[in-house]
Amino acid sequence: MEVVMNFIESLGDGWSIYLWLVVGAAIIVVSLYGIRWAWKNEQFDEDIKYLVFTESDQDKMTADEYRHSRKVLADQMASRDRHLAMQAEARRSR
């Protein structure tokens, strides 16, 4: 611990700005990676809210909303099946 403290004390004035720049750049890189991951994994779907409804909720929605919620559910299940098939194919090819 004493070695670290001696090293920090031996640095000149203004060294902390470089530490902040490195940390800031790391935060930006991690944020961009997270956004890229979310985009590739279909996480930016505004219709996701319709997945909480079941067929028993039909009386609480208009006919158009209910039809849309069933379409969203079917699309989501197709996407799930597609991703599971891709994962299975990746495991087989290893």
User: 10-residue block means of pLDDT along the chain (94 residues)?
Assistant: 82 84 97 94 80 86 91 90 92 87
Residues 55 and 86 in one domain: yes
What does the alpha-carbon distance between residue 80 and residue 48 come to, in Å, rounded to a whole number? 13
Instruction: Please tell me whether residues 34 and 70 are part of one structural domain.
Output: no
Q: List CB contacts of 73: < 8 A, sequence separation 6 or more.
A: 50, 51
* 93, 49: one domain: yes
Specify whether 92 is located in the same domain as 49.
yes
The range of the structural domain enclosing residue 85 comes to 45-94
Q: Is the same domain home to 12 and 26?
A: yes
51 shares a domain with 37: no
How many domains would you assign to the chain?
Answer: 2
What pTM does this model have?
0.55
72 and 53 both lie in a single domain = yes
